[in-house]
Amino acid sequence: MLELKNIRKYYNAGTVHEMCMFHDFSMKIEEGEFVSVVGSNGSGKTSLLNIICGSIPLDSGSIFINGEDITHMPEYRRQRRIGRVYQNPAMGTCPSMTILENMSLADNKGRPFNLRRGTDKKRIDFYREQLQSLGLGLEDKLYVKVGVLSGGQRQAMALLMSTMTEIEFLILDEHTAALDPKTAETIMELTGKVVREKKLTTVMVTHNLRYAVEYGNRLIMMHQGQAILDEAGEAKKAIRIQDILDKFNEISIECGN
């Protein structure tokens, strides 16, 4: 369970550019929930993910994972339980290392990076199998550097790598936004499969309203640092794309654009 309590976050505090992102924002994500987060640019979606992962500091408020206060835990320590896939496919892999080396790195997450051999030969078949499940033919390219792969292939690998070890939360930051429609579809299907199989608690930020409606069991719409729509269960199933669009229009009229 993930809990955000009374989060306050200002950007450029104390200057003329001061901007309030969150003012007393609270949210609770139950175990096993797959939350889709939508909202216009600057509504606080990515900030929300950065706050959960510890990439940006908080002004005040606290964050709990399963009741444990992680507000002051550094980003890299939190990542032990979190898998994150970024919008930019280059963020999830090492371009100058081979596919096999990247898989070995990901496989070793949570264990010591000591002086043992980097790639465990006994695990190669397992890596092949995992790569095969992507259906992209990467299992035959183990010794190819990841830098020569396409964005879609890299993103598929990033997804695989971030979910390879035992994690509790999967954070998806517009992870299909930089991909062509067909590849995006493939990655999204893979995501759904991984989340189902591993029963991961997932937070997915997306601009694709169809994905937000089709996937997940809870939908949140962010606006000016607040969740103006938050539906789960049956109510979430009833939401159609048109409903979200209407809500968007409503906001736009309020804001005068």
Partner 1 sequence: MSIIIGILEEGLIYAILALGVYITYKILDFPDLSVDGTFPLGAAVTAMLILKGVPPVLTLFLAFLAGALAGCVTGFIHVKLRVRDLLSGIIMMTALYSINLRIAGKANLPIFSKATIFDNALLDVVLFETLEPFGVVLVLLVITLICKLLLDLYLNTRSGYLLRAVGDNDVLVTSLAKDKGMVKLAGLAIANGFVALAGCVYCQQKGFFEISTGTGAIVIGLANVIIGTKLFKNLHLPGRASSENGRKRPRGMKATTAVILGSLVYRSCVALAISLGMAASDLKLVTSVLFLIILVMSNRKGKKVTVHA
Binding residues vs partner 1 (CB under 8 A) = 74-77, 79-80, 83-84, 86, 90-97, 99, 101, 104-106, 108-110, 112-119, 140-144, 162
Min dist CB 80 to partner 1, Å, is: 4
Q: Which pairs with CB-CB distance under 8 Å and at least 24 residues apart come from 194-200?
A: 194/159, 194/160, 194/163, 194/170, 195/34, 195/170, 198/163, 199/32, 200/34, 200/83, 200/163, 200/167, 200/168, 200/169, 200/170
Q: Between 167 and 222, name the residue whose CB sits nearer to partner 1.
A: 167
Instruction: Please name the amino acid found at residue 249.
Output: N
Q: Compare residues 15 and 143 and give the one whose CB is closer to partner 1.
A: 143
> Which of 137, 135, 4 has the alpha carbon at shortest distance from 69?
4
Question: How near is the Cβ of 82 to partner 1 at its closest, in Å?
Answer: 8
Is the distance from CB of 128 to CB of 142 less than 8 angstroms?
yes
| Residue with smaller CB distance to partner 1, 57 or 118 | 118
- As measured in angstroms, the least distance from the Cβ of 79 to partner 1 is 4
Distance of closest approach, residue 131 Cβ to partner 1, in angstroms: 12
Of 32 and 95, CB closest to partner 1 = 95
Nearer to partner 1, 85 or 213 (CB): 85
CB of 184 to partner 1, least distance (A): 21
C-alpha separations of 127 from 69, 130, 133, 172, 239 in Å: 35, 5, 10, 22, 39
Q: Which among 165, 221, 167, 213 is positioned nearest to 192, based on CA atoms?
A: 213
